[in-house]
């Protein structure tokens, strides 16, 4: 591999490090919600699983629809701080506060299921809106601050080290921390860590001069232009199916530990920890041996294939050894997925800028969020359909033996289908090879 040309790196190492540090704060709450909120609300607070699944489907629709709207608003924002930075600067604190409130529910589903659902629903709706605004602003800065593929993969590698740490803190540690300090204490601690990380990175953030002076496409034409973009649709669908697969794994792992392996659910920290440590360790190999030698499309196809291999041991038998084997393989695949996930959307933004003359990162990352978020609705739907058929009932003190098979099926068949569909979408993704090189050349000419 040849040395990196100096003109491909236009920002300092400090700038790239501080920018990526904020991803730790962004990721901790959202990974905790994705990984443990179902267990907390259903198994700890005793909200009926059917109620949770029904609400989560409606919530996911809201979550999906607000992504492109807030992305569009971000693209059109004009302020003394820029288009993206205000959402990080003023949204970070309420984002972490409302996250903590999710685990401070004063009601129990056995006695007050309606009150619990109303409280949980109101808080998570506010929290998710804040997350979308914050994340759209933060990830919208990626293609603006870092223009070359080499620079973006460097940033992505650093970012994903912090995001992997966010996975460990947000998903692997809560079962242990909740046993030591209770669920509320755990949430408050995570909120403080997330808030510090978000605000520590803000001084390094910047936006291109003149970014607020460009003309803008109205909302409906902007959505239309986005949804007829084949590069975007295939990349976003692949991301959605990837998040469906990993979302099922995050949602089901605590249940799998408790009801299939018959071990304390705190052992999920071991499984998650192994996967995330492997993921962090494999970022360098993925970047230098795969991503920098091929392209984003090929890297993601290979990573999804590894994920398919990784989930198979979870269905072969209920043993901790098989779970550890699965965690190691999943960690390898997850590393490739998180390295390139944002990079491929940034490429789509570049292509759109060449076509339209406008930098619409907010719209593309927001609409990508819409499509990805719909995968959460699919996760909750599959959860609500599969588990009751195997006898799972939150109101039972002792679950029937059949739930073991239910959780093993839940953790294998749906993720495999999701990762296969992601590979199919990536095979159809057109922005690679000569076409991608032409986009990069056009942007370089525009910049000069």
Please tell me the predicted confidence (pLDDT) of residue 139.
Answer: 86
The answer to whether residue 9 is domain-embedded is no
Q: What's the domain count of the chain?
A: 1
Please tell me the predicted confidence (pLDDT) of residue 213.
Answer: 53
Per the structure, the complete domain to which residue 344 belongs is given by 14-204+217-447
Quote the distance between the C-alpha of residue 304 and its chain's center: 15
The answer to whether 195 and 378 are in contact (CB under 8 A) is: no
The answer to whether residue 4 is domain-embedded is no
Q: Is 437 exposed, middle or buried (0-12, 13-18, 19+ CB in 10 A)?
A: exposed
The answer to whether residue 211 is domain-embedded is no
Q: How confident is the model at residue 341 (pLDDT cuts 50, 70, 90)?
A: confident
> Can you say whether residue 296 is alpha, beta or left, with left for phi > 0 and alpha for psi between -120 and 50 degrees?
alpha
422: which residues sit within 8 A by CB, 6+ positions away?
237, 238, 239, 241, 242, 245, 300, 304
The answer to whether residue 288 is domain-embedded is yes
The answer to whether residue 210 is domain-embedded is no
Alpha-carbon distance of 381 to 247, in angstroms, equals 12
The answer to whether 333 and 301 are in contact (CB under 8 A) is: no
The answer to whether residue 8 is domain-embedded is no
Q: Is 152 exposed, middle or buried (0-12, 13-18, 19+ CB in 10 A)?
A: buried
Q: Tokens standing for 193?
A: 């860590």
Tell me, what CATH number does 440's domain have? 1.20.1250.20
Q: Residues 158-183: pLDDT tens digits?
A: 887 898 888 789 888 898 899 899 99
Residue 1 has pLDDT above 70, yes or no: no
Where are the alpha helices (H) located in 282-357, listed in sequence order? 283-285, 296-316, 320-356
The answer to whether residue 80 is domain-embedded is yes
Look up the pTM and report it.
Answer: 0.75
Residue 8 has pLDDT above 70, yes or no: no
Q: Is 313 helix (H, G, I), strand (E, B) or coil?
A: helix
Q: Residues 227-276: pLDDT tens digits?
A: 889 999 999 999 999 999 999 998 888 888 888 888 876 677 788 889 98
The answer to whether residue 7 is domain-embedded is no
Q: What average pLDDT is seen over the chain?
A: 87
């Amino acid at each position: 591999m040849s040395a990196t040309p100096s003109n491909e790196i236009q920002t300092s190492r400090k700038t790239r490090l501080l920018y990526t540090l904020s991803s730790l704060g962004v990721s901790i709450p959202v990974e905790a919600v994705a990984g443990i909120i179902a267990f907390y609300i259903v198994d700890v607070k005793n909200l009926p699983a059917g109620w949770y699944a029904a609400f989560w489907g409606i919530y996911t629709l809201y979550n999906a629809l607000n992504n492109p709207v807030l992305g569009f608003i971000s693209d059109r924002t004009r302020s003394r701080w820029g288009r993206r930075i205000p959402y990080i600067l003023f949204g970070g604190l309420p984002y972490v506060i409302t996250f903590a409130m999710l685990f401070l529910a004063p009601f129990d589903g056995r006695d007050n299921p309606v009150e619990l659902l109303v409280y949980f629903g109101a808080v998570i709706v506010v929290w998710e809106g804040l997350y979308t605004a914050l994340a759209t602003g933060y990830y919208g800065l990626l293609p603006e601050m870092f223009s070359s593929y080499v620079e973006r993969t460097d940033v992505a590698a650093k970012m994903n080290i912090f995001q992997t740490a966010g996975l460990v803190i947000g998903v692997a540690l809560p079962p242990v921390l909740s046993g030591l300090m209770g669920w509320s204490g755990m949430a408050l601690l995570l909120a403080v860590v997330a808030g510090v990380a978000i605000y520590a990175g803000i001084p390094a953030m910047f936006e291109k001069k003149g970014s607020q002076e460009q003309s803008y496409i109205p909302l409906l034409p902007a959505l239309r232009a986005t949804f007829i973009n084949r590069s975007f649709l295939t990349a976003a669908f692949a991301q959605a199916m990837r998040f469906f697969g990993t979302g099922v794994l995050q949602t089901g792992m605590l249940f799998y530990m408790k009801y299939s392996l018959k071990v304390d659910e705190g052992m999920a920290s071991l499984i998650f920890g192994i996967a995330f440590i492997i993921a962090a360790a494999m970022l360098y190999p993925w970047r230098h041996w795969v991503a920098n030698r091929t392209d984003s499309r090929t890297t993601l196809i290979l990573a999804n294939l590894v994920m398919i291999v990784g989930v198979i041991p979870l269905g072969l038998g209920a043993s901790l050894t098989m779970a550890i084997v699965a965690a190691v393989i999943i960690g390898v695949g997850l590393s490739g997925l998180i390295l390139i996930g944002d990079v491929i959307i940034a490429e789509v933004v570049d292509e759109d800028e060449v076509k339209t003359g406008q930098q619409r990162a907010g719209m593309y990352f927001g609409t990508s969020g819409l499509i990805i978020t719909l995968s959460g609705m699919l996760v909750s739907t599959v959860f609500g359909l599969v588990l009751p058929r195997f006898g799972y009932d939150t109101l039972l003190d002792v679950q029937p033996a059949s739930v073991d098979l239910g959780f093993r099926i839940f953790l294998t068949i749906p993720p495999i289908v999701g990762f296969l569909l992601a590979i199919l979408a990536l095979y159809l993704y057109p922005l690679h090879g000569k076409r991608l090189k032409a986009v990069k050349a056009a942007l370089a000419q525009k910049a000069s």
